[in-house]
Structure 1
Amino acid sequence: MHDTLPLLAKIDFPRLRRHRLETLQVNLGYRCNQSCLHCHVNAGPNRTEMMDADNAALVLEVLKARGIGTLDLTGGAPELSPHFRALVRGARALGVRVIDRCNLTILSEPGQEDLADFLAGEGVEITASLPCYSRDNVDRQRGDGVFERSITGLRRLNALGYGDARSGLVLNLVYNPQGPSLPPPQEALGEDYKRELMQHFGISFDHLFALANMPIQRFGSTLVSKGTFDGYMALLRGAYRPENLDTVMCRSLVSVDWQGWLNDCDFNQMLGLPAGLAGKSRAHLRDLLTNDPEGEAIRVSGHCYGCTAGQGSSCGGALGADREEVEGQEPGRAATATARAETNGPTFGREAAPSRAAA
């Protein structure tokens, strides 16, 4: 696999400092039941890195000590951690909002048959990856049969009340472009998703988050192999919007790796760029018990343009309204369609919404 950090380190990015810490994002390990092309974690079934019991307990201590309002659990597939359910219960007992970054297929894995009921019972907010509402596109990016299992998982969640505003159970979906393109306008794409998933599968959800692919790990290595890394970086830098800087997720979020080390974001974690705190160049979760990270410098590099290009991108979706959208334009008509881009080569622009015929 190609290491993109040396390439990214050559690219300047504006300096940033932290605001108040509001979210603790914890990576419980890199083990996953899938191996997706766009995965910036390079997760998969053969990964063995998993958080231990001591660090999992420390997460709850930090939530309480710092008064953090949101615990964002990620991986890999975070549900595969033996400490996942204890963390969820402990955080909910503290009144903390818990987000589970779920790949949907985990809901039908052996031994996880009661997972959906557990999540609903604890009032966990689910942010689920569904990079397209087209079967072919999802299976191409995530593996054969993933789309069907994802639909089954979504139907199960809907049956429990997820995606129904009356239930209080929040279900958000995540979209990633198929290749080296910016995502379409989030609001318009979300309307497409809601229409297509309801029409074809009877599925409802709350919000769609449109995320840009980061030029790191598996996706970044693919760009290098195909000779498209420089073109993609030029796209991100050309679409840079300085007004996105104030709301990038690293301002109010700390990412914790499976060993308890702190990072400014999940992407920095994967690049091996640790976060500093209280004079330490590499801080640990335990350091948050006695030190407030507000005002600390954030480590930046070329990949940060992925969060600040166009409408912006974060773990909670776009950072603001898309300022390039043409009023009255049909959603998805602003760029070359995914299928055409894959046929004719990389398209460095905004990716179009999938064709309705592909659903």
Structure 2
Amino acid sequence: MLVTTSLQQRRSPLASADYQQTRLNSLPLSTSPHQGNFATALAAHNWQALQPAELEIFQINLGKLCNMTCRHCHVDAAPDRKEVMDRETVNACLAAIDQIAVHTIDLTGGAPELNPHFRDLVDECAQRGKKVIDRCNLTVLLLPTMQDLPQWLAERHVEIVCSLPHYRQRNTDAQRGDGTFEKSIAALKRLNAVGYGQGDPTRCLTLMSNPVGAFLSSSQASLEQEWKAGLLKHHGITFDRLISLNNMPISRYLEWLESSNNLQRYMELLVNSFNPTTIAGLMCRNTLSVSWDGRLFDCDFNQMLELDCQPTNGQPTNGQRMHIRDFHLEWLAQREIVTGRHCFGCTAGAGSSCGGSIKES
């Protein structure tokens, strides 16, 4: 299936978060463990509710605008998406950061670099002594307005987490479009040239892989060695670490699962592969996700399904969704994390988070 525009642009039913949730919840999983109910799976392992741990990572989605339209994108990002975080919301994020002791600011999208306030935000976070992560699709670095960005990021010690489905061309292009692999290799060489991927902890280059198909991610440790050898041998490229993620059954990956008749099988795989040892390390427990319009979510995936953070009892929200301008750490620390069937994607096999596998299987 060739994808050239977003679900929203095509007016697909799957552009609706409510429709996606209904589709997942309607799958017949009564013969699967816990009948495909994530809350029941948690309770079976003495987790009556999923509570947040200490907040360590502040993740900001700077918008759904992207220079690419990837088949697996859980954000439904594309060049036709116009949602980008405005300056007022950026300032509200900085005000919240000043109230908390998080060590990492994780910038994502879409292509976060396309937000006009991206560089100002990076500078503000770096000045506050925070580690900054830029989740980069690599090809954005080849745009005419981004020619200086690798050196600029290196000077600010930003960790670059690059999406690259595979170190072989066929697999990468199948997921992200013809020509993407060649462009990604060119971008990686530019990053190597300014000191990324050379073992310098202040210029860390991380590659992020997700399966090209309806199966779980392989062992992160063994993949890293294979990728390092392959990219060095064939392209002379080095990087520091590899993280692997399971694909989440939402948005355009959900569309691909349906069109390829893999949805039922993949959801059964996720549920049957539930690993209770991953629960404590789930990213929703130590991370807060802020959407482009300032709403607060337990994780990036909940954000895309519009499952907002739920206020605690007694919080004066006046029936409104939680927003970054009303940030209150004490209220957030007392909340119960919102879960659903999609959460089996983060707890299957070795687990999956924005930092990669949770447990090596």
**Which TM-score band (shorter chain)?**
0.7 to 0.9
Does structure 2 conserve the Cα–Cα contact (< 8 Å) formed by 1:100 and 1:127?
A: yes
Q: Secondary structure of 1:49's match?
A: coil
User: In the alignment, residue 33 of structure 1 is paired with which amino acid?
Assistant: N
Q: Which of 97, 102, 117 is the equivalent residue of 2:136?
A: 102
Q: Which runs of 5+ in 1 are unaligned?
A: 323-359
Residue 26 of structure 1 aligns to a residue whose secondary structure is strand
Of 294, 300, 305, the match for 1:260: 294
CA distance 1:269–1:166, change in 2 (3 Å): closer
Q: Render the CA deviation track for 1:120-155: whole Å, top value 9, x for unaligned.
A: 111100000011011111111111111111111111
TM normalised by structure 1 equals 0.87
- Structure 1 residues 292, 122: CA separation in 2 closer, same or farther (over 3 Å shift)? farther
Deviating more after overlay: 284-293 vs 49-58 = 284-293
**Partner of residue 113, structure 1:** 147
**Does the Cα contact within 8 Å between 1:8 and 1:301 map onto a contact in 2?**
no
**AA at the equivalent of 2:277:** E
Deviation at 1:286, TM superposition (A): 2.1
Aligned partners of 1:277 and 1:291 also within 8 Å:
no
Q: Distance in 2 between matches of 1:134 and 1:290?
A: 44
Partner deviation per Cα, 1:37-70 (whole Å, 9 max, x = no partner): 1110010001000000000111111111112211
Match of 2:24 among 1, 4, 8: 8
The aligned residue for residue 56 of structure 1 is: 90
Structure 2 segments unaligned to the other structure (5+ residues) = 1-11, 27-35, 43-48
More divergent stretch after superposition (224-233 vs 21-30) = 224-233
TM (normalized to structure 2)?
0.86
Tell whether the 8 Å contact from 2:72 to 2:256 is kept in structure 1 after alignment: no
Aligned residues: 322
In 1, distance between residues paired with 2:101 and 2:323? 18
Q: Decide whether the 8 Å contact of 1:4 with 1:221 is kept in 2.
A: no
SS at match of 1:293: helix
- SS of the residue corresponding to residue 66 of structure 1 reads coil
Matches of 2:101 and 2:218 in 1, distance apart? 36
% same residue: 45
Looking at structure 2, the residues matched to 251 and 222 of structure 1 have their Cα atoms a distance apart, in angstroms, of: 29
Q: For the residues of structure 2 that align with 1:230 and 1:263, how far apart are their CA atoms?
A: 27
Identify the match of residue 187 of structure 2 among 153, 157, 161. 153
Residue 52 of structure 2 aligns with which residue? 18
Deviation at 1:36, TM superposition (A): 0.5
Counterpart amino acid of residue 182 in structure 1: L
Contact kept, 8 Å, 2:64 with 2:82, in 1: the verdict is: yes
Runs of 4+ in 1 over 4 A off after TM superposition: none
- One-letter amino acid of the structure 2 residue matched with residue 105 of structure 1: T
Task: Note the 1:19-168 alignment, pairs <5 A.
Answer: 19-166=53-200, 168=202
> What amino acid is the match of 1:29?
G
Contact 2:271 2:344 in 1 (8 A): yes
